[in-house]
Structure 1
Amino acid sequence: MSGTVHIVGGGLAGLSAALELAEAGRRVTIYEGGPALGGRARSYEDKQLGCRLDNGNHLLLSANETVFAYLDRIGARHTLVGPGAPIFPFHDLAAGLDWTVRLSPGRIPWWVFSNRRGVPGMRLKELGGLLKLMRARGDQTVSECLDPGALADRLMIPLAVSALNTRPEIASAALMGAVMRESMAKGGSACVPWFPAIGLSESLVDPATVRLQQLGVTIRTGARVAGLGLVHGRVGTMLLPEGRVELAPGDQMILAVPAHSARDVAAGVLPDMTAPTEYESILNLHYRADVLDRLTGDLARAGFAGVVGGMAEWVFVKPGILSVTVSAANHLADHSAAALAATIWREVRAVVSPALQPGTTLPDALPPHRVVREKRATFAATPAQDRLRPQCRTSVPNLVLAGDWTATGLPATIEGAMRSGLVAARALGPGSRPPLT
């Protein structure tokens, strides 16, 4: 096909689609409204802290086949680091207890029978809740499937909240079941954690930008598409900052912006488009603290720890920074940044100090920090919102949708976003690989 594919949105869904199309020989132009590519998975310089930060913490698993294939295509797999084994350190604030879940490499979960590898206080009968999740109906919630106990409180609920960014009492069990079928159900070899050694941009965005430019892709930042228009039943115009631009007759388009933006942009061509309407926020706190050379034990090996019983959910140890993620954070919207920073710093001290070399600890005083709120980080992964997610193809023949909010079968994850980009690219017709199944 000879026309240009116009990709609206330079997040990971758009980059994934652009790479697929450009490698197949298609002409591609990316339009990104912001100053940089990457969407919710990028890095930036923080002048206040004097260091580079990610706009969110993302943990990848070895099961994320689409992500790792993308990294291989842009030559960036080597930019990730991790423990090299399926280990997940945790700290229970109320009990003052540290432990590490060490998953068995194969499909048989031998780890549940070991006091040194499993969840403290869990009972074997609680495993039934995992089967319920993987067999859940579309209207069930995570809490309805999990059996009460230590396995739920100290492992499955923290994992569900981080994967779905939604509280377990309203979160879709079917979506969590999909995550589990692609990870835990395949054994520990599918659950090895990885994250960028430097930053999200350095791993996922900058190498992709270089590769796309080598392939001749035109990248326009600061080019927000405000609306689309129909010409003879096809997308024929788009409204850019410089004015209305006409598409050529053979041009196609992938709309790969967040759900709320997609509804606005496509209002003139897809008035009946369905999309999620409810969102959950994510709270990230970054504290200036250099502890990497003083860490010991599993926290040093993994580079992160889960937190049970507090505001904090995950603590990541990075060069010069202790970074905290709080998912499903709508309930914290009325809390001041100062109060959140102080409370969560106390929790960070409780998690990190026991792992420091003898005779060292984190200071009581609050260090320089940054509080970042993503108010509409993801769609709320409830059964009702999941039903609103649209398919890739639309009623307009030269327009397809991409994004982690489309019907990927997964919650709003990097894997889902990239998978949606591939599906959109392959839906445009000849010149790309077969559709994903």
Structure 2
Amino acid sequence: MTSRVVIVGGGIAGLAAAEALSRTGVFQRGEMQVVVAESRRNTGGRAGSFVEPSTGQAVDYCQHVAMGCCTTLLDLLERMKLLDRFQCYDELTFYHPQHGFSRFRPSRWLPPPLHLSSALSSLKHLTKKNQREIRAALWRLMRTSEFDLIDVTALDWLRSNEQSEDTLEKFWDVILVSALGDVPERVSMAAARKVMIDGFAGARHASDVWVPRRPLSEIFGDGFREPLAQRGVAFELGHAIRELNWDAETNRWNVERSGADPQVADHVIVATPWHISRRWFPQAWGDQPTDGRSDRIGPATAFASSPITGLHLWLDRSLTSKPHVVMVGTLAQWFFQDPIKTTENMSPAEGVYHQVVISGRHAGSDWPKDKLVSEVVRELSEAFPEAGTPKVLKSRVVTDPHAVFSVSPETQVRRPASKTSRPGLHLAGDAVATGWPATMEGAAISGQMAAKSVLGSLVATEDQELSVPSELKRGWLARRLIR
């Protein structure tokens, strides 16, 4: 009998689940059908793009980057022959208004985690006192297990470990807000440890930055769909899912869609963003419905969302040859200018494309968009004075209020597993309990977890075990120093 799996949501999690199932023997023998149902007309979800009307240019909603520690995502891109659509950088550039630019590059000769020492010393905006405090905190963090930190906020732990307000502002806020999408006073220190140890200290190349060289809508759109369709995965695009109902008589799921015939499924993988998945299945997320209605959730039990804002700027000149800069002590947090994207199909009259990313709530969150653009352009003009004062030819501000979930201590302990108590129901998405914060890596891991959950529900099959990539190998010293 052929099992039918419907994946609701065509973002990275849904695509990862489809890819994992498509390389199993049970699928290749024709004993499983896989359908990806996506409400939009393209796959990719939040890792997508919009088309700038006046130029026809595909512009990412918000700049996405991966790191070298994101082994599941990088392995997935490699299998899909898409890794060459990303550019790898082994160093970062930091900018501070009072101290200018600093180059952050881990040592090629010292073993991890000592390879970060010289890179930390190179940051001009950090005083010797800042650096001593950071090194002491990183040492304690390496010697503390993630389990012991899950119910502690980052701010409480950092203050209890003698991090001054100056060090918090110049270093920890910069790294954690950018990586976790929320301020240290709200995020779990366990999530912060994941960033600092796995993302920087644990292994060589963990802190490499992988930046897309092509629009996300191309990479996670046709780039994924076409090869998966060739394997036999079906895609149903442009029809929103209205209801998911379990039929006890047939032991199958009924998938009701807007503007299309319903589908039936033996297994459903819900790979939508968490705030949608929770509306459908609140109990799977540990929520208690109010007023006896499954579509109403009490506000006290809700996962908190954290916004990310992308400022898309078309200027009359290129500000710098640097592809990206971490901005410290400014409203802008990340600056990007990709020479490939900037020059492609763009005439001088249309402008040179730049993007600035601001994570979380910030000082300009409630400003009019014109004021926000004006302030950010002023900061960029001061950072790159050699380019002269740029003229803004056009701009667009895109804020996603649900860009990431806030990884608070309360949220961390309530993130659900892929396997649920409901028959044939599996969860995917970056808010599933992957051990990662809201990242492309977390989404990719969750998709593979959901695929394994489906396979584990099938009657004895040799395909229950999916090969998955291992984390970056830690060197001999890191294995001894990091718990």
Q: Same fold (TM over 0.5)?
A: yes
Partner of 1:317 in structure 2? Answer: 337
**Other structure's SS at 2:443 match:** helix
Distance 1:90 1:41 in 2: 25
**8 Å contact 1:141–1:168 — kept in the other structure?**
yes
Q: Distance in 2 between matches of 1:348 and 1:72?
A: 35
C-alpha distance in 2 between matches for 1:348 and 1:242: 47
Tell me whether 1:201 sits opposite 2:217 in the alignment. yes
Residues 296-311 of structure 1: matches in 2 within 5 Å? 296=321, 300=322, 303-311=323-331
Q: Secondary structure at the match of 2:337?
A: strand
CA positional deviation for 1:324: 0.5
Cα 1:97–1:17, aligned 2, differ >3 Å: closer, same or farther?
same
Correspondence for 1:62: 68
- Helix, strand or coil for the counterpart of 2:335? strand
| Deviation readout 1:36-90 (Å, 9 max, x if unpaired) | 211110122111465321011112111110111111111011111133x2x1111
1:390 to 405, 416, 432: 416
Aligned to 1:72: 78
Q: Which of the numbers 213, 218, 221 marks the counterpart of 2:234?
A: 218
Deviations 1:97-137 (A, max 9, x none): 22121122430324424786345313324312224445351
> Per the alignment, do residues 22 and 340 of structure 1 end up closer, same or farther by CA in structure 2, a change over 3 Å counting?
same
Amino acid at match of 1:98: F
Q: 1:186 to 1:396 in 2, by over 3 A?
A: same
The answer to whether the 8 A contact 2:104-2:119 is kept is no
Aligned equivalents of 1:230, 1:160: Cα separation in 2: 41
Q: Aligned partners of 2:417, 2:312: CA distance in 1, in Å?
A: 37
Answering whether residue 15 of structure 2 is matched by residue 15 of structure 1, we say yes
Q: Quick one: distance in 1 between partners of 2:314 and 2:388?
A: 14
Matched, 1:36 2:59: no
Q: Distance in 1 between matches of 2:55 and 2:315?
A: 10
One-letter amino acid of the counterpart of residue 67, structure 1? L
Q: Is the 8 A contact 2:315 2:354 kept in 1?
A: yes
1:241 and 1:115 mapped to 2: Cα distance? 53
CA deviation map 1:299-338 (0-9, x unaligned): x2xx111111121100001213110000013664422111
SS at match of 1:227: strand
Q: CA deviation at 1:242?
A: 4.0
Q: Which runs of 5+ in 2 are unaligned?
A: 289-300, 343-351, 456-460, 471-483
Deviations 1:129-183 (A, max 9, x none): 2244453511212222331266543333212111110111211110111223322
Q: Which amino acid aligns with 2:43?
A: L
5+ residue gaps, structure 1: none
Aligned-partner SS, 1:36: coil
Moved more, 67-76 or 385-394: 385-394
Q: How does 1:132-171 map to 2 (within 5 A)?
A: 132-134=140-142, 135=144, 137-146=149-158, 147-148=163-164, 152-171=168-187
- Residues 1:151 and 1:100: Cα distance change in structure 2 (over 3 Å): farther
CA distance in 2, matches of 1:243, 1:74: 30
Give the alignment of 1:22-421 within 5 angstroms.
22-24=22-24, 25=27, 26-48=32-54, 50-83=56-89, 85=90, 87-93=91-97, 95-105=98-108, 106-113=111-118, 117-118=122-123, 120-121=126-127, 122-134=130-142, 135=144, 137-146=149-158, 147-148=163-164, 152-232=168-248, 234-242=251-259, 245=262, 247=264, 251-266=266-281, 277-289=303-315, 295-296=320-321, 300=322, 303-318=323-338, 319=342, 320-329=352-361, 332-351=364-383, 353-354=384-385, 360-363=387-390, 365-421=391-447
SS at match of 1:329: coil
Distance 1:152 1:330, change over 3 A: closer
272 and 167 in structure 1: CA distance in 2 versus 1, 3 angstrom threshold: closer
Q: Using the alignment, how far apart are the partners of 2:449 and 2:60 within structure 1?
A: 27
Superposed displacement of residue 264, structure 1: 2.5
Contact kept? 1:142, 1:170, Cα under 8 Å: yes
Stretch deviating more after TM superposition (99-108 or 209-218): 99-108
Q: Deviation digits for residues 196-229 of structure 1, max 9, x if unmatched?
A: 1122223333311111111111111112112111
Identity of aligned residues (%): 27
The letter for the 1-side match of 2:453 is A
| Cα distance in 2, alignment partners of residues 281 and 172 from structure 1 | 17
Does the C-alpha gap of structure 1 residues 48 and 266 become closer, same or farther in structure 2, counting only changes over 3 Å? farther
Q: Give me the whole-angstrom Cα distance separating, in 2, the residues matched to 1:198 and 1:43.
A: 10
Name the TM-score, length of structure 2 as normaliser. Answer: 0.80
2:5 corresponds to: 5
Residue pair 2:242, 2:257 contacting (<8 A) in 1 also: yes
CA drift of 1:435 comes to: 8.0
Higher deviation after alignment, 210-219 or 130-139 = 130-139
Shift of 1:284: 0.6
Instruction: Between 409-418 and 25-34, report the one with greater CA deviation.
Output: 25-34
Deviation at 1:391, TM superposition (A): 1.1
Report the RMSD for the aligned CA atoms in angstroms: 2.6
Matches of 1:252 and 1:290 in 2, distance apart?
Answer: 52
Question: Any conservation in 2 of the 1:9–1:255 contact (CA below 8 Å)?
Answer: yes
